[in-house]
Amino acid sequence: MSTLSRQFLSGIRDRYTALKATDDRGLQTIEWIGLVVLVLGLVALVAVAVTAYVNSQIAQIPG
């Protein structure tokens, strides 16, 4: 194997090792936080809609 081939393969191996060693857990945490915020927003929106509907129905009850 030529010197150039060895250097090339060594460089590729080093880059692969560096990429494999990176930590992506922070990105996953951000995704979970975004998902939780989205779900809580949807729950709040549904709660407001149900409350408005119930209040409008209560106003129609004679009494």
* Helix ranges, the chain (H): 3-21, 25-59
Tell me the per-residue pLDDT of 1-60, one tens digit each, with 9 for 90 and over: 688 788 888 888 888 888 777 766 676 888 999 999 999 999 999 999 999 999 999 989
pLDDT band at 62 (very low <50, low <70, confident <90, very high): confident
User: CA–CA separation, 57 vs 33, rounded Å?
Assistant: 36
User: CA–CA separation, 16 vs 47, rounded Å?
Assistant: 50
Q: What's this model's pTM, rounded to 2 decimal places?
A: 0.56
Going from the C-alpha of 48 to that of each of 2, 34, 40, 52, 56, the distances in angstroms are 71, 21, 12, 6, 12
